[in-house]
Amino acid sequence: MNARAETGASKTDTLKLAAAVAILVAGLWGFYFFANFSLLLRVIVLLAIAAGAVAVALTTGPGRTLWRFASDSRMEVRRVVWPTRQETIQTTLVVMVMVLILGILLWLFDTLLMTILRLLTGHGG
Which residues make Cβ contacts (< 8 Å) with residue 31, sequence separation at least 6?
42, 43, 45, 46
Could you read off the pLDDT of 36-74 as tens digits, one per residue?
999 999 999 999 999 999 999 999 999 999 999 999 999
Determine contact, residues 26/49, Cβ cutoff 8 Å: yes
pTM (two decimals): 0.56
Query: CA-CA distance, 94 to 104, in Å (whole number)?
Result: 15
What residues does each domain of the chain span? 1-80, 83-125
- When mean pLDDT is compared over 32-36, 103-107, 114-118, the highest value belongs to 103-107
